[in-house]
Amino acid sequence: MTAIIINVKSHPNFFSSWNYNIIIGGGSALVLYNFGGWIGYIGAVIYTFYLTSIGPIIWNSIKGYNITGAFFLGYFFNILLGLASVWIVAYAFVPGGPLLRERTDIVLGTSYFSILAGVLNYNLRREEFTKIKFSSCKIFKQTLTIITILLALSISIFIKRYPSEPFKPYNEESQSFTAGIWCVHFGLDNDMWSSETRMRDLIRDAEIDIIGLLESDTQRLIGGNRDFTQTIAEDLGMYVDYGPGPNKHTWGAALLSKFPIIESTHHLLPSPVGELAPAIHATLDIYGELVDVVVFHSGQEEDVEDRRLQSLGIQEIMGNSSRPLILLSYLVTEPLQGNYNTYVSEKSRVYDIDNTDWDRWCEYILFRDLRKVAYARISRSTITDTELQIAKFKLLNEDEKNDDDLEFYYGNHFVNEDEIDENLRMPQLFRGDGVRGHRYHVFDEPRYFAQHKWQRYNEQEQEQQQQEEHQEEEEENGQNEEGDEY
């Protein structure tokens, strides 16, 4: 708004000059494209100001033309640029995709030079337009007033949205935490309605403290430039890491956490053929201990070599970490086969939350140096086409860290829910028919793991007793058959 008023009130030669358009417009576009972090952000702010400031010039330049034709061509060209902005990411799924693979420079450059064409049109027809009298004093007062109002509004919104107290995990008393992985398909449900409110409700009801959201990048034209990750984080009181940004040409990966994110590194895994695979490697402060969380989206099934290289990349990231670690991932592999054995290996030092769960292909939760408590799969309803997987963990105490009984901590010693402390149990809300179309499915209930070694021995005794009973039944059946034959 400030830029528009400055333009209207100032001499038209200023904003239509080539020095302004090339230095301010072109320079900020180059900074936006070539730099990340705060420098790239500053470039984006200046470029936004530039685009707004030349608005009146562009509007003036179409005077005398066929308005219908001008608007038709303008919107048509805008649609082409919108499609091009999709092609640079979706190159693996669209015709001619490789031509625009990761070519943000072509889209941004075409947009910028089209603007210069509009400025040129204005300069060629300058004499046809009425010049506005320049008054620097009046401009300064009006600009200062508008900036003051906007600043006051921004501060009031900031104060309203700023958290008044530290974020708290759902199960602080038990010192446990729940981690989840979910592919949310850009916050659009199966009927193409915005789904962030329903996503928020499920994350809250499942009491998830740490969640990886995949295909979360909606901050582009095709996604409506929405920011549903921040919306969910603010509503639930969570920290958020957006992962690799839209300028990295991925579908996005985000991390939401009730625990402070101490540091974070973003990765683009090797993808010589297919779509880029984003990953987040973050370190969280969980109850005073540093724990690494990796969020990762693997490539498509068709791109075999891509997925092999990506598995090696994630293996290296996990193997180089010396802290307790959780991998929240979309792996595109069958359990115990193929690249699974790269992710779960001696080099990565991570283990599957439940390697007996054979009915998986995409989502996996892997971990190390933590005590697993429970594992569950919750149906998606119509929010997306992918279920929500969650797992509950506890930190190891000093004795457990020095215990070399890996089979107990990483094995599958299942116990009944009534053998688990109530404050460690999964929410009861999703049992049976569940709520709002979300329920425990596949197993129809959470799977719980032994928290004490004596529970493992009880489990072995129960298994042995069941085997003996089964053997006795077979012997009885055999004797009955012999009697019938006799």
Domain of 232, CATH number, reads: 3.60.10.10
Residue 69 lies in a domain: yes
Same domain, 149 and 196: no
Into how many domains does the chain fold?
3
433 and 313 assigned to the same domain: yes
Q: Are residues 441 and 456 in the same domain?
A: no
In a domain, 467, yes or no: yes
- 416 with 348, same domain: the answer is yes
Do 272 and 375 share a domain, yes or no?
A: yes
Same structural domain, 188 and 301: yes
pLDDT value of position 469: 57
pLDDT of 357: 96
Cα(174)–Cα(421) distance, integer angstroms: 9
Residues 113 and 222 grouped into a single domain: no
Both 441 and 474 in one domain: the answer is: no
Within a domain: 170: no
Same domain, 126 and 275: no
Expressed as residue numbers, the domain containing 368 is 176-445
Judge whether 166 lies within some domain: no
pLDDT at 465 (0 to 100):
53
Tell me the pLDDT tens digit for each residue of 300-325.
888 999 999 999 999 999 999 999 99
Does residue 137 belong to any structural domain of this protein? yes
What integer pLDDT is reported at residue 463 of this predicted model? 56
What does the pLDDT look like over 339-353, one tens digit per residue? 999 999 999 999 999
Is 213 part of a structural domain of the chain? yes
Per-residue pLDDT of the chain (486 residues; tens, 9 = 90+): 555 555 555 555 778 889 999 999 999 999 999 998 899 999 999 999 999 888 888 888 888 889 899 999 999 999 999 999 999 998 888 888 889 999 999 999 999 999 999 999 988 887 766 555 555 667 667 777 888 898 899 899 888 888 777 899 999 999 999 999 999 999 999 999 999 999 999 999 999 999 999 999 988 887 888 899 999 999 999 999 999 988 899 999 999 999 999 999 999 999 998 889 999 999 999 999 999 999 999 998 889 999 999 999 999 999 999 999 999 999 999 999 999 999 999 999 999 999 999 999 999 999 999 999 999 999 999 999 999 999 999 999 999 999 989 999 999 999 999 999 999 999 999 999 999 999 999 999 999 999 988 877 665 555 555 565 556 666 666 655 554 444
> Is 163 contained in some domain?
no
Residues 391 and 361 in one domain: yes
Given 267, 297, 413, 438, the catalytic residue: 297
Catalytic status, residue 249: no
pLDDT at 144: 79
Task: Supply the pLDDT for residue 376.
Answer: 98
358 within some domain = yes
Co-location of 432 and 456 in the same domain = no
- Domain end, chosen from 89, 123, 158, is at 158
Q: 149 and 99 in one domain?
A: yes
Rounded CA gap, 232 and 241, in Å?
A: 12
Domain boundary among 158, 187, 218: 158
